[in-house]
Amino acid sequence: MRDVDGPLEMADCVALYEQVMGLRRDDGSLNPRLLTALQDNSGLVVGAYLGDALVGFTYSFLAREQSADGQAPRLYQYSQLAVVAQERQGLGIGRLLKLGQRDRCLAEGTTLIRWAYDPMQTRNAHFNLDVLGAMVDAFKPAMYGTSGFGAATGESTDRFIVSWRLDTPARPEAPAPPPPPDGWSVGRVYDDGDDRIVVLPDDWHRLRAEAGPEHAARLRGRLTDAFARLLADRTLVSCVRLPGGLAAYRFIPRAAAHGTDPRP
């Protein structure tokens, strides 16, 4: 793990991003000059290397949180993306990248990192929420438009906004929800005490390939309606796998989420 250094290594980052994301000609991409400028002006470009070969990287830029109470705005790093070479996924490289990003932030006195992810990608959700200990408290439907890009061409780019606070105690791991008597149903909202559970497929790409894009779009609409409604007064803290190819999001009352976040 080290900072990416120089224009040639920045170009390696761009090439890896295009490969992993499966970008089309008109999708747009990164630019080595942009990455260099970000790194030189309070941004971070962190790479994971196996020998001399780049196998993953993440980049972020310094952002300012708007203050509603007249206090000085809080600065944070907004992490635009993290990618790992396809043949190296599932080996913990993504976690090392985020921890490297965290270490650099803390060294500079920054205690908050934010980023966005597709709510339907439950593997990413589990990593963000249950492994790192971040939380979701905002939802942006169609953040980058409704036509998607790369492997997600044709899909709405709905995104959860993740907040990873680096200066608060770790919260306890969220329990797996107990199954209802009549079994789980995709798209339904279930009560678990004061918490709310939303069930969705655990492999969105497979569902879209098998059931078709129209079915996936309708289901996405149902799920995102539920997410927006729940996040009005709740925080999303967990995503766990369930039997039968399903996953479950856990939303807790916002007051209960205050004061805890990151997992070591």
The arithmetic mean of pLDDT across residues 74-101, rounded, is 94
Higher pLDDT, 26 or 207: 207
Chain segment 90-111, per-residue pLDDT in tens: 899 999 999 999 999 999 999 9
pLDDT tier, 263 (very low <50, low <70, confident <90, very high otherwise): very low
- CATH code reported for the domain at 1-61+75-108: 3.40.630.30
Mean pLDDT of the chain: 90
pLDDT tier, 26 (very low <50, low <70, confident <90, very high otherwise): low
pLDDT > 70? residue 71? yes
**Percentage of the chain exceeding pLDDT 90:** 75
Weakest-pLDDT range from 123-132, 140-149, 153-162, 179-188 = 140-149
Token representation of residue 91: 């080996």
Q: Do residues 82 and 47 lie in contact, with contact meaning Cβ atoms separated by under 8 Å?
A: no
Ramachandran class of 92: left when φ > 0, alpha when ψ lies in -120 to 50, beta otherwise: left
Residue 32 CB neighbour total at 10 angstroms: 18
In Å, how far are 55, 83, 173 from 131, measured between CA atoms? 21, 17, 9
Q: Do residues 48 and 38 lie in contact, with contact meaning Cβ atoms separated by under 8 Å?
A: no
pLDDT > 70? residue 149? no
Break the chain into its structural domains and give their ranges. 1-61+75-108, 111-264
Q: Do residues 111 and 168 lie in contact, with contact meaning Cβ atoms separated by under 8 Å?
A: no
Residue 155 has a pLDDT of 81
